[in-house]
A and B are shown apart, each in its own frame.
Chain A
Amino acid sequence: MWEYSDKVKDHFFNPRNVGALEDSNAVGEVGSLACGDSLKLFLKVDPDTDRIIDATFQTFGCGSAIASSSALTEMLKGKTVQEAMDITNKDIADFLGGLPKEKMHCSVMGREALHAAIAHYRGQPSPAEQLEGELVCQCFGVTDLQIKQVATENKLTTVEEVTNYTKAGGGCGLCHEKIEEILLQIRGEQKKDEAPPVPAAKRMTNLQKIAKIQEVIEREIRPMLQQDGGDVELVDVEGARVLLALRGMCTSCPSAALTREGIEAKLRELVLPDLVVEEVA
């Protein structure tokens, strides 16, 4: 049994704004019957002021999915489209007095439907199309870009958290390694953003740099790739560009792009924060 807050129960037992909105000019639909939950959000936006006049929903899903949808419609009314864009999944969960961690994906579904509706209103392609990326979780149809976005926004650090928020990895579990790589990559990028110029690194000569990169590849990266039947070879280093050749299984691996990014993150972490990895044949 889930420990739902009183506010979740209230919005589940007495959902607000249920049904289709006849004269809506912004509709966002996410999820599917197969995945176990789905939300269709209807907005009526005043085109002169960009203000949301009305919001309704239809949801197939569990208690917290219905409650999150109901809460979202209440939060949206009276906001401008721009203000609505700033609503995060955490805002939805907070509005409800919190959600069990395994149910956070319900709040994420709310935000995704909202962004889809606003894109529809603006005549833009849906965020799902923009966020095409590469399919990571086959069971629930979640891409690397979706995972990256939700993980960054919610500061997620473990595969379990990513599953709670996006469902990715909650089925067969075959994509757990890929999710790890994405998390690793995010950590690498955050390091880059935060890291002030590293004086020690700056003093590194080109030869020292190449030696250090070679060492990290040998010690950290190759053993990891070799486990999956792949391999990598350092071809050249030109300034901050590290030219690598993927070998073995890596050449045909559908996640080669992730592998490249994973290696880059590792090299940035352990050698220099400004390195860029490029793949050469």
Chain B
Amino acid sequence: MNPVYLDNNATTKVAAEVFEAMKPFFCERYGNPSSMHSFGGNVARDVAAARAALAALLGASSPQEVVFTSGGTESDSTAILSALATSPERREIVTSRVEHPAVLNLCRYLARDKGYTVRWLSVDREGRLDMEEVQSKISDHTAIVSVMWANNETGVIFPIQQIGEIAHERGALMHTDAVQAVGKIPLDLKASAIDFISLSGHKLHGPKGIGALYVKRGTRFSPFVLGGHQESNRRGGTENVPGIVGLGTAARLAAKNLDEENDRVRRLRDKLEQGVMAGIPFAHLNGHKEARLPNTLNVGFEFVEGEAILMRLDEKGICASSGSACTSGSLEPSHVLRAMGVPFTSVHGSIRFSLSRYTTAEEIDYVLTELPGIIHFLRSVSPFGRENLEAICRVH
């Protein structure tokens, strides 16, 4: 039986069309796009077509603004380190407390070992930034502002364009980790105040191991991976041709009917959310209700622990993820939920459901039939909240 896969912010299924498009580039058209012979040289056209498709999805002004990389993490490192290298007189980075580890741990490293000052932006209980704080922390010392477009755990969307304008007023560069946003919200980078965007293939039904960095034309740039002349001297190493072709196809699919698809996903997500809230007492939404990706639902269930919920969901063939400490191997729960000040009673029991264009209404119905029983059972085992729950049950 295929699983009910509601963990699409972790990774997605490779679209059948993507896989088909990639296939010839393994055993048949395996040439190197840099070669002088036509067998290899022709492959360069497919790489160019993929670049154009991705540029179109991003609303970039030219395909040349797209640099292919190995994924979101490499793109993040490239953008931030490039900004620091090209503005040596500026020693500060502004970023948020809820970034993905790809940015968070890089910034911690730069602060600890390289002497940079990192100005951390906090979030409120609904996971949103305080724009006054953003304004006050970006200064003439800021080399780069790096704030994610949408949060991977809660789906909360940040006002990136507005932050980019503030950054530019102070002469700083603007980077956004848009790994969760690309393909889920319409983008138009031509008119934006954004210099760098990181994205990853496997979050939008492309393959793993391929990503891209958008570099706005005219932006000062210093490469991260040094080597050959590939990617116009911006990223060394022979191109991951099957991955690039796959990402190009994924971008084409995402651009097609983006609004319709996302409306459908949003309706399914809302159905799941309403069903959970109506059917399970002591469940709270984590993250702002409106300013949120259409596919993401993060709920905190009080008095139960996330790993136990996931194990029981898994037994029923349902894949989700948790911000609980026990699932990560660390002992501390999600840095995102803690930064939001989610209370201890529900932070350990927080579950993220993330849908995709392949999610069906039947799957959502199935989750809604299984989940309440799981939460109820674990609460019956738990020593906490018993009195509250019993009081609620008496009322009903």
Contacts and interface: CB of A to CB of B under 8 A. Distances in A.
B383 A59 contact: yes
B305 A65 contact: yes
Contact of A60 (B304, B315, B333): B304
A65 B308 CA distance: 9
A62 B380 CA distance: 14
A111 interface: no
B308 A66 contact: yes
A59 B377 CA distance: 12
A102 interface: yes
Interface in A12-67: 12-13, 15, 18-19, 29, 33-34, 36-40, 58-63, 65-66
Contacts of B308: 12, 61-63, 65-66
Interface stretch (A126-134, A163-171, A183-191, A271-279): A163-171
Contacts of A167: 331
B27 interface: no
Nearest to B331: A170
A62 B305 contact: yes
Given A12-B308, A62-B305, A63-B311, A171 B332 contact: yes
A140 interface: yes
Interface string B288-317: 000000000000000111111001100100
Contacts of A139: 331-332
B383 A38 contact: yes
A9 to B, nearest CB: 8
A89 B326 CA distance: 19
A158 to B, nearest CB: 16
Contacts of A29: 383
A37 B305 contact: yes
A61 B331 contact: no
B384 A61 contact: no
A61 B331 CA distance: 12
Interface in B327-381: 327, 329-333, 344-345, 348, 380-381
A187 B330 CA distance: 27
A62 B333 CA distance: 12
B325 A102 contact: no
Contacts of B306: 62
B75 interface: no
B95 interface: no
Contacts of B324: 36, 62
B62 interface: no
Contacts of B380: 18-19
A60 B325 contact: no
Interface residues of B, number: 26
A61 B329 CA distance: 14
Given A58-B381, A60-B383, A36 B311 contact: no
A120 to B, nearest CB: 15
Nearest to A13: B315
A51 to B, nearest CB: 25
A15 B384 contact: no
A59 B331 CA distance: 17
Interface string B54-67: 00000000000000
Interface residues on A, range: 20 to 34
B25 to A, nearest CB: 32
A140 B381 contact: no
Contact of B384 (A60, A62, A170): A60
A15 B344 CA distance: 25
B307 A63 contact: yes
B35 interface: no
B382 A58 contact: yes
A33 B384 contact: yes
Given A140-B331, A163-B331, A171-B332, A40 B383 contact: yes
A10 B189 CA distance: 53
Contacts of B330: 170
Nearest to B327: A62
A222 B324 CA distance: 42
Residue of B307, B324, B333, B384 with most chain A CB atoms under a 10 A cut-off:
B307
A237 to B, nearest CB: 42
Contact of B381 (A15, A102, A171): A15
A102 B331 CA distance: 9
B220 to A, nearest CB: 37
A14 to B, nearest CB: 11
A34 to B, nearest CB: 4
Contacts of B331: 36, 139-140, 163, 167, 170-171
B347 to A, nearest CB: 9
A161 to B, nearest CB: 14
B381 A59 contact: yes
A36 to B, nearest CB: 5
Nearest to A9: B311
Contacts of B315: 13
Contacts of A13: 312, 315
Interface in B173-203: none
A102 B303 contact: no
Nearest to A58: B383
Nearest to A2: B307
Interface in A158-199: 163, 167, 170-171
20 contacts: A12-B311, A18-B380, A19-B380, A33-B303, A33-B344, A33-B384, A36-B305, A38-B384, A58-B382, A60-B382, A60-B383, A62-B306, A62-B308, A62-B324, A65-B308, A65-B326, A66-B381, A102-B329, A140-B331, A171-B331
Interface of B: 303-308, 311-312, 315, 324-327, 329-333, 344-345, 348, 380-384
Given A36-B325, A170-B330, 17 more contacts: A33-B303, A33-B384, A34-B344, A36-B305, A36-B326, A38-B384, A59-B381, A60-B381, A60-B384, A62-B326, A63-B308, A63-B311, A65-B305, A139-B331, A167-B331, A170-B331, A171-B332
Interface of A: 12-13, 15, 18-19, 29, 33-34, 36-40, 58-63, 65-66, 102, 139-140, 163, 167, 170-171
Ordered nearest first, which 6 A-B pairs have the shortest CB separation? A170-B331, A62-B326, A58-B383, A62-B307, A40-B383, A60-B382
